[in-house]
């Protein structure tokens, strides 16, 4: 009886240790998978490939310094949150000051000024769009909130290319 109790305790301890090892291995694998599935920001101005949407061809600008445009801005989020953007990074509508533009290269920082209230936000281009007539830029939810665009959803803006994002994907200025 003593031997069988000791054997049961020893097996139980081994089982517990294997359970902890399995938990650690699973957590480690999950962390590696999460990192692999959400590519980090890739520094530098890039994304010059020509592309087609709805039968129209778009060619991203190589000479983007000094670019300015006036038009309508909108914001996107919801169903796009967590999806991969055209630049390859994961879209975070709640924590990232990013935007979609049809022809500004990825990694360019643009100042967006709401012409109704004069509020501004600096965004980094990381996606393509908007593909709706008259719209010039689609902002992340956070960027839209910064310029007071959430309630109406669309507003007249001035977009100015300011420079390139730093190595961590931040826009200064």
Q: How do residues 14-37 score in pLDDT, each as one tens digit?
A: 444 444 434 434 444 344 334 444
User: Is pLDDT at 40 greater than 90 in this prediction?
Assistant: no
* C-alpha of 108 from chain center: 14
User: Is pLDDT at 56 greater than 90 in this prediction?
Assistant: yes
Instruction: Look at 77 and 161; give whichever has higher pLDDT.
Output: 161
Span 43-71, mean pLDDT? 92
Rounded to 5 degrees, φ, ψ at 14 are -65, -45
Q: 105: which residues sit within 8 A by CB, 6+ positions away?
A: 45, 46, 47, 48, 60, 61, 62, 64, 125
User: Residues 145-160: pLDDT tens digits?
Assistant: 999 999 999 999 999 9
User: Is pLDDT at 6 greater than 60 in this prediction?
Assistant: no
* Confidence grade of residue 73 (pLDDT, cut at 50, 70, 90): very high
Span 33-48, mean pLDDT? 61
CA 102 – CA 2 distance, rounded (Å): 76
H-run or E-run covering 29? helix 2-37
CA 37 – CA 55 distance, rounded (Å): 31
User: Is pLDDT at 79 greater than 70 in this prediction?
Assistant: yes
Nearest 10 degrees: CA dihedral of 147, 61, 47, 102? 50
Q: In the prediction, which pLDDT does 29 show? A: 38
- pTM listed for this prediction: 0.74
* Confidence grade of residue 91 (pLDDT, cut at 50, 70, 90): confident
What is the average pLDDT score of the chain?
Answer: 81
Which one, of 173, 155, 160, lies nearest residue 72 by Cα?
155
* Confidence grade of residue 39 (pLDDT, cut at 50, 70, 90): low
Which one, of 46, 56, 27, lies nearest residue 86 by Cα?
46
Instruction: Look at 130 and 15; give whichever has higher pLDDT.
Output: 130
Which one, of 165, 60, 33, 37, lies nearest residue 111 by Cα?
165
Are 73 and 132 within 8 A, CB to CB? no
User: Is pLDDT at 76 greater than 50 in this prediction?
Assistant: yes
Instruction: Look at 132 and 29; give whichever has higher pLDDT.
Output: 132
Q: Does domain 51-164 have CATH number 3.50.50.60?
A: no
* C-alpha of 143 from chain center: 12
């Amino acid at each position: 009886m003593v031997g069988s109790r000791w054997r049961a305790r020893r097996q139980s301890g081994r089982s517990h240790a294997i359970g902890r090892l399995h938990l650690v291995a699973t957590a480690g694998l999950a962390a590696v998978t999460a990192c692999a599935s959400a590519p980090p920001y890739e520094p530098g101005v890039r994304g010059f490939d020509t592309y087609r949407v709805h039968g129209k061809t778009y060619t991203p600008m190589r000479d983007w310094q000094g670019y300015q445009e006036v038009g309508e801005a909108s914001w996107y989020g919801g169903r796009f949150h967590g999806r991969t953007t055209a630049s390859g990074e994961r879209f975070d509508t709640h924590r990232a000051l990013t935007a979609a533009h049809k022809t500004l290269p990825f990694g360019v920082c643009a100042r967006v000024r709401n012409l109704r209230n004069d509020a501004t936000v600096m965004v980094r281009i990381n996606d393509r769009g908007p593909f709706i007539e008259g719209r010039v830029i689609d902002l992340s939810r956070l960027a839209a909130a910064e310029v007071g665009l959430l309630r109406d959803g669309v507003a007249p803006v001035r977009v100015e290319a300011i420079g390139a994002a730093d190595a961590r994907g931040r826009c200064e200025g």
